[in-house]
Amino acid sequence: MPRIRIYQEDHIPSPMQKVWQAFADNPFALMGLWAVCCLLTLAIFGPWIAPFSPEQQDPSALLLPPSWDASGTVEHFLGTDDLGRDIFSRLLHGAHLTFGMALAIVLASLLVGFVIGSISGMMKGLKSSILSHLLDALLSIPSLLLAILVVAVMGPGLDNVFWAVGIALTPQFVRAIHQAVHEELQKDYVTAARLDGANSIQVFWYVIMPNVWETVIIQTTLAISAAILDIAALGFLNLGAQAPSPEWGAMVSQGLDSLLTAPWTVTIPGVAILCSVLAINLVGDGLRSALSPIRN
């Protein structure tokens, strides 16, 4: 039933509400948000939901196909791998390794990138260009090369993935925040605030930052999806999470031996990675289009 408007003055939504409405109008973005919420829940509570422990081997059920296959059973919903480990449980246990790790990496590099980016964005001349341009070029060094260097020094392991992917992601944040701050700094309303006597810190926090948060949010969603893909790729190459670990990329590489006889050991973790990255990209896309009227 349409709302009856008695008064001329209607409720004026706040900017946040406007963004939310624009976001919620896009069904795909909303779907992505639900999926991300589910993933978050699984990343936190996954180990309690999982029916088996990730390392528990069932010698009577080696390479069992998923339950929808004629020879599959419901006990092992997504089948088992070549050691008889339940793939469903391993996926649940791996969610916090892949997804949770990606979140931790992005938060850390966001923090570092935010500080460096805003400092270099607020500065002018040589200092600013040294900070930003050097990192600009670092941006183009592939994360895999950094990971190889880190592994050469510290040996493979999931902790080292944190450093490798984190170092690779930080320049992106620095660059995005530097550019956003720098662009805002040229605008007239900033000059007006300066003429009112605001010092640099006040200009930065109260005048510029409210207009930069959108860039930060969008960059964060992009970085999370990149981080998941990087962690999984390193796990796949055996440079990140090591063999018994249920990290999703490592699961793909462990399934590689039985690829021809049991393709689901590779397909299912791959689909899990694809779905989680897709969900985050859907949210990111939705956010970008919801925020774009404000940004322009």
Partner 1 sequence: MGRYLLRRLNLFLATSLALVTVLFITTSYFPVSKPFALSGIATPTTEQLAQIEADYQLNGNQLQQFIAYAQTRLSGDLGLSVTSQRPVLEELTQALPASFELAIVSGIIAVLFGVPLGVLASLSKNKITQHSIMAITLTGYSIPVFWLGLTLSLWFGVELGWLPVSGRINLLYEIEPVSGFMLIDTLLSDSAYRISAFKDAVFHIILPAITLAVLPFTVVVRITRAAMLNIMELPFIKAAEARGLHTGTIVLRHALPNALIPVLKNMGLMLGTFASYAMIVEVIFSRQGVGSWLVAGIYQRDYTVIQGGVLGVALIIIFFSILIEVLHNAYNPLSRKEIYAAN
24 binds partner 1 (CB under 8 A): no
Q: Token pair for residue 199?
A: 């010092």
CB 164 within 8 A of CB 128: no
Using the rule CB under 8 A, give the single segment among 13-21, 194-202, 210-218, 227-235 that binds partner 1.
227-235
257 binds partner 1 (CB under 8 A): no
Using the rule CB under 8 A, give the single segment among 37-45, 50-58, 74-82, 145-153 that binds partner 1.
145-153
Between 52 and 106, whose beta carbon lies closer to partner 1? 106
Using the rule CB under 8 A, give the single segment among 33-41, 81-89, 211-219, 251-259 that binds partner 1.
251-259
**Residue from 91, 177, 277, 283 that binds partner 1 (CB under 8 A)?**
277
Count interface residues toward partner 1 (CB under 8 A). Answer: 47
**Residue from 44, 49, 107, 259 that binds partner 1 (CB under 8 A)?**
259
**Residue from 49, 107, 111, 274 that binds partner 1 (CB under 8 A)?**
274
241 binds partner 1 (CB under 8 A): no
Number of neighbours of residue 256 by Cβ within 10 angstroms: 12
Q: For the residues of 116-182, what is the DSSP string, one character each? A: HHHHHHH--HHHHHHHHHHHHHHHTS-HHHHHHHHHHHH-SSHHHHHHHHHHHHHHHHHHHHHHHHH
236 binds partner 1 (CB under 8 A): yes
Would residue 86 be called left, alpha or beta, if left means φ above 0 and alpha means ψ between -120 and 50 degrees? beta
Q: How far, in Å, CA of 111 to CA of 121, rounded?
A: 15
CB 238 within 8 A of CB 156: yes
1 binds partner 1 (CB under 8 A): no
Nearest to 87 by CA among 252, 260, 276: 252
Can you give the binding site for partner 1, defined by CB under 8 A? 133-134, 136-145, 148-149, 151-153, 155, 168, 225-226, 229-230, 232-233, 236-239, 249, 252, 256, 259-260, 263, 266-267, 269-270, 273-274, 277-278, 280-282, 285
